[in-house]
Amino acid sequence: MHSVTTVQPKISAVLTLPVIVASLGYFVDVYDLLLFNIVRVPSLKDLGLSEEEISRIGANIYNWQQAGLLIGGFMWGVLGDKLGRRSVLFGSILTYSLANIACGFTSNVEIYSLLRFIAGLGLAGELGAGITLIAEILPRELRGYGASVVASVGLAGAIAAFFAVKLTDWRTAYFIGGGMGLILLVMRFNVLESSVFSKSLEKRGARRVPWWTLFISWSRLIRYLRCMGIGLPTYMVIGIYSTFGNEFAKALGIPGEVQAGTCVLYTYIGVVTGDFFSGILSQWLKSRRTAILVMITMTLAGVGWLLYGGIRSAEVLYICYVWLGFSIGYIAMFLTTTAEQFGTNLRATATTSVANNVRATVLITLPLFQLLKPSSGVLHSGAIVGGICFTLALLSLWKMEETYGKELDYEEL
């Protein structure tokens, strides 16, 4: 009797064309997603709006972008499960690249709103389809590494957006984003469809499982809500603690002027390294759940440090934001977990919509934060919203199925 030795695939096998293209796609996705937040004031000022109009109309345009993300999350997900992951990668990047370029030419607020809606619609398909594709293409022993590469390269797009605006004007920054997308579109012609999806399509025949059964089947709904729940702390940190870093600095009594944009920049510097770390951690631990628990615990510690750690200088505050960014760096990991939770015929719908629904939770947490501020103050309001998000995240992780090394060639019945 000869013993059989299992040979693990080399880590270099992760750097396949689909992983590289998905990584660059997420890079352009994050670049464009944050670009409007950065150029909102200068672009609307350039269009002749007053300070009061910039605040009101800027928020309205942002809501149009978010509406596009929410609708697009389901639209691209359903198309990904019907037509294939590759088709979504083509359609989504073409949509938001053209919308980006058009934003650079806009001189009308109504057109600007429509273009940000179209951009949001296109952006919605990028990350979910990319994660779904590489989860199905890579060997199951390497999925965590693939998620690390996609996330760390992709989230560098946030840093690129800050510097693009700093070195150019807002119209040029839009042209850069659209141009990068079109270049990436050409690269995608050589990306093949997932063989797991192709085999699934052959087996399905006339039998279809409608996407809305995600919400009418109790077991699927619970899995779906768990996947959303574990991601709640990520966009709470970005949407509240970082975006309103100037308000937290003032509440802490930190001298000097602390720019919210600088807080966001330091957060994303942390996110890039954290997302790379979390994927490797899940491989070392051979557990998605334990890796995510470690990251959520670190995030909780970082929030405690921010709110009640006695920070008294801008330098220490920025270090805290790097820590917070690092600890929420499991965005690609929770989406990889989502992809592993569902069968091939609903995988893209679940992953793509969860990605955008978690982003959109800021539309709930932020108004709650604003509502509590007058009576509770900035710090206590941040603590209350954080407490709710962390409680839901830990409850979602509790008893969640462990999917490390799970075989993905199966269908939802």
CA 334 – CA 228 distance, rounded (Å):
9
Look at 13-22, 29-38, 91-100, 237-246 and tell me which has the smallest mean pLDDT: 13-22
Which residues are CB-contacts of 304 (< 8 A; sequence separation ≥ 6)? Answer: none
Q: What is the pLDDT of residue 1?
A: 40
> pLDDT digit string (tens) for 1-54?
433 333 444 445 777 888 888 888 889 988 988 888 788 888 999 999 887 788
Helices (H), 286-397: 288-308, 314-327, 331-341, 347-360, 362-397
Q: What pLDDT is attached to residue 207? A: 58
Q: Which helix (H) or strand (E) holds 248?
A: helix 245-251
Give the C-alpha separation, 329 to 274, whole Å: 4
The answer to whether 409 and 199 are in contact (CB under 8 A) is yes
What is the rounded CA–CA span in Å between residue 384 and residue 273? 28
Q: Which CATH class is domain 212-403?
A: mainly alpha
Helix axes 143-167, 126-137, angle to 10 degrees: 150
Tell me what the mean pLDDT of segment 191-217 comes to: 79
Q: What is the pLDDT of residues 69-80, one digit of tens each?
A: 999 999 999 999
The band of 66, judged by pLDDT with boundaries at 50, 70 and 90, is confident
- Where do the structural domains in the chain lie, given as residue ranges? 16-193, 212-403
pLDDT confidence of residue 10 = 47
Among all chains, which residue has been given the structure tokens 């429509």? 114
**Cβ–Cβ < 8 Å for 259, 310:** no
Residue with the larger pLDDT of the pair 229 and 185 = 229
* Polymer length in residues for the chain: 413
pLDDT number for residue 5: 38
The residue behind tokens 């965005």 is 331
Mean pLDDT across the chain: 89
Superfamily of domain 16-193: MFS general substrate transporter like domains (1.20.1250.20)
Of 4-13, 339-348, 369-378, give the lowest mean pLDDT range. 4-13
Confidence of residue 56 (pLDDT cuts 50, 70, 90): confident
Question: What integer pLDDT is reported at residue 113 of this predicted model?
Answer: 94
Per-residue pLDDT at 92 = 92
Q: How far is CA 404 from CA 93, 276, 327, 336, 338, in A?
A: 30, 17, 20, 10, 11
d(CA 253, CA 243): 18
Helix (H, G, I), strand (E, B) or coil at 218: helix
Per-residue pLDDT at 6: 39
Q: Please report where in the chains the tokens 């499960």 appear, as a residue.
A: 81
Q: Is residue 206 scored above 70 in pLDDT?
A: no
Percentage of the chain modeled with pLDDT above 70:
96
Domain 16-193 and domain 212-403 have a common topology: yes
Which of 176-185, 317-326, 353-362 has the highest average model confidence (pLDDT)?
Answer: 317-326
